[in-house]
Amino acid sequence: MASFSSCEATIEIRIYTSAMSTSTISTTAKTSANAAAKPHRTRKVVSKPKRPRWVTLVSILVLLIVIKGLVQTIRMLALKFADCSRVPDFERITEVESSVKITASFHVEFVDRKIESEVRGLIREFNDKIEEKAGEVNHRFEKLDSKSEMLENKLRELGAVEFLRKEDLGKIIDDLMNMKGGPIMET
C-alpha cells in the first residue's frame, strides 16, 4: 500500500511469513526543494446545478407510475397463467354465472310486477281524483247555468218595461205644474 503526503513519501512493504505474522518495512524520502515550492494541486469540484423541487417531484411520480405499470403487468401475466392452470374452476364459475342470471331474471320479473301494481294503483287513484274534480266542475257549471238563466229572465223583464225618456218626463212635470196652477214648491 502506498500513501503520499505533501512533503514526504512513505512506502510500506509488508512481508508475510509462514506463521501469518507480518513485518513492516517503511522508508521515508524527503522530496526535493522544487516540489516544496510548488503549491499543492487541488482538484476543482464542479457542482451540479440544483434542480427545482417540482422537477424532482415529477421525476418521482413518473418513476412510481412506471413501477405501478410493471407491477400490474406482472400481476396480469400471473393471473393469466393461474387461470390456465385452474380449468375445473372455470366450470364452477359458469354454473355460478347461470344461477346468477336465473336469480336476476326472477328478481327483474318480481320488480316488474311490483312496478305494474304500483302504477295501476296510482292510475286508479288519479282517475278517482279526476272524477271527483269533474263532479265538482259539473256542479259549478250547473250553478252558473241557472244563474245565467235567471239573468236572462231579469233582462227580458226589464226589456218588457218601458222607461220614460227625458223629454217625456219633462212634459209630465210641465203638465203637473200647469194643473195645480202654480209652480211646484222647490225645496
pLDDT digits (tens, 9 = 90+) for 58-69: 889 999 999 999
pLDDT of residue 56: 87
- Measured CA to CA, the distance from residue 125 to residue 132 in angstroms comes to 11
pLDDT of residue 112: 87
- Measured CA to CA, the distance from residue 147 to residue 156 in angstroms comes to 14
Eight-state DSSP code of residue 18: T
26 φ, ψ to 5°?
A: -130, 140
pLDDT digits (tens, 9 = 90+) for 3-33: 444 444 445 555 554 444 444 444 444 444 4
In the chain, which ranges are continuous DSSP H helix?
Answer: 33-37, 53-85, 87-160, 166-180
CA 182, chain centre distance (Å): 101
CA 43, chain centre distance (Å): 61
Contacts of 173 (CB under 8 A, 6+ apart): 184
Pairing state between β 2-4 and 8-16: antiparallel
Lowest mean pLDDT among 87-96, 105-114, 133-142: 87-96
Contacts of 105 (CB under 8 A, 6+ apart): none
- Measured CA to CA, the distance from residue 88 to residue 107 in angstroms comes to 29
pLDDT digits (tens, 9 = 90+) for 110-133: 888 888 989 999 999 999 999 999
pLDDT of residue 5: 46
Q: Is 126 left (phi over 0), alpha (psi -120 to 50) or beta?
A: alpha
- Measured CA to CA, the distance from residue 93 to residue 155 in angstroms comes to 90
15 φ, ψ to 5°?
A: -115, 125
Name which residue leads in pLDDT, 41 or 56.
Answer: 56
